[in-house]
Amino acid sequence: MSPHTHTEVLIRPVRDVDVEALGRVHAKVWHETYDQLISTATLENVSPRRLAELWTHYTALGPEYRMAAALVDGEIIGFAGSGPARDADAPAPRELYFVYLLDSWHRKGIGRALFDAVVEPDEPLYLWLAERYPGARDFYEKRNLRLDGARREEPFLGETLTEVRYSR
């Protein structure tokens, strides 16, 4: 039996006391997600402290920004965030910024719960996804998001990722 079978997962809004834990988890998730997409040297420059500073900024944003964390036994294992569209030509007023979950917690409904915590049902929405990260496509398509043909080259840690846009 999996060690995660009877685990209680708490989904709650991100708090300012979470920033260090969020920085650590964010750095680890980036390694798990982007190891095949970005050079190891670049990923090794991702400091949990720098990401904690980013989270300090996120936790200070207004109520139109929705940030949620998933916790098991008091430890953060994933997070999600959405807020106002950041693109001038945005196809929807709300952008999903991220849903990140540690690999060992995938496929247990936690990502879905995080998504639901930061997005209203059927809310018009869009997101950018690394084109070479196919793992997330089914997840977003199950939430009625579809590739809409937009793509961009996005600087990421000094390298470039090609991203494709999903919208609904």
Q: Residue ranges per domain, the chain?
A: 9-123
The architecture in CATH of the region 9-123 reads 3-Layer(aba) Sandwich (3.40)
pLDDT band for 6, please (50, 70, 90 cuts). low
Q: Is 160 helix (H, G, I), strand (E, B) or coil?
A: strand
Triad 51, 54, 55: Cα angle to 5°: 90
pLDDT tens figures, 15-36: 989 999 999 998 888 778 766 6
Q: What does the pLDDT look like over 105-138, one tens digit per residue?
A: 988 999 999 999 999 999 999 999 988 876 788 9
Cα–Cα nearest to 166, from 142, 140, 136? 140
Kindly report the pTM of this predicted structure: 0.86
